[in-house]
Amino acid sequence: MVIDHYAASHHVDHLIVKGTSRVVLIDLKLNKLELPKLTNLHLEFCWWPSAILSNTECFDFSAVCPNLVNLFLSHFDAWRFGILKISGPKLVNLTVNWVNSDIVEISAPKLTFLKITFLKIKGETELNFSMINLPSLKQTEVGHVVRGNRWRSNELRMMKELWGTERLFSENLHKFFQGIRNAESVALCTSSFEALAMVMDTLEGKLSPFSRLKSLKFILYRQ
């Protein structure tokens, strides 16, 4: 792709790459580049070609863009990687909206803002957060969405089946909320509570993970 090679050769610090849902996704080969000057990266409807990847590989944004401050990912297809790592020593703001990947690791010591939405794409599994390390997190917004921002009972049951047993489903939810425990301001989509209600028995008696919470907001997504 011409754009990413231009960005590397001209030492750009802001890069916005947008595809469209109506055409083939953009063939982005960031894993072959180094963008040390890049501080702001915005990717929408991007993917990597299967010809150069194996699903056992791992992609780490910090290896390509070590100085990222702001990262925005939307409709981002990374399922060809076994693990998608979102990390960086300078990363401050992160938005993850509808990312397709088997396992996601987020580790950013300076991250203060996180907005994240889960989405089950074409029947594949929900995101599995194997690690979240955000010691400086101040503000977070969490949406837990399945097709069209609307939860239906059959979709909830399907998600539990895809995530495995009820215990595994509960562990993944608990792991995620533990990962954002340092947030002072939390905004939760109402559908997040529907997910938690499914595993209420396994969460009973456990303390809230939010030890620094000052503000809690509930968000109602509308069609």
Q: What is the pLDDT of residue 212?
A: 93
Average pLDDT rounded to a whole number, residues 209-222: 84
- Residue-averaged pLDDT of the chain: 74
Which range marks the domain in which residue 172 is found? Answer: 2-219
Radius of gyration (Cα) for the chain, nearest Å? 18
- Per-residue pLDDT reduced to its tens digit, 161-196: 555 555 666 677 777 888 899 999 999 887 676 666
Confidence check: pLDDT of 216 > 80: yes
- Per-residue pLDDT reduced to its tens digit, 83-117: 888 999 999 999 998 777 777 889 999 999 999 88
Confidence check: pLDDT of 52 > 60: no
Residue 62 phi/psi, 5° resolution? Answer: -70, -25
Confidence check: pLDDT of 157 > 90: no
- Cα angle 190, 74, 88; round to 5: 100
* pTM for the model: 0.78
- Mention every residue, 6+ apart, whose C-beta is less than 8 A from residue 136: 109, 110, 111, 112, 182
Q: How confident is the model at residue 32 (pLDDT cuts 50, 70, 90)?
A: low
Characterize the bridge pairing of strands 83-87 and 103-107: parallel
Instruction: List the alpha helices (DSSP H) in the chain.
Output: 2-9, 61-64, 153-163, 166-179, 190-198, 200-203
| Domain total of the chain | 1
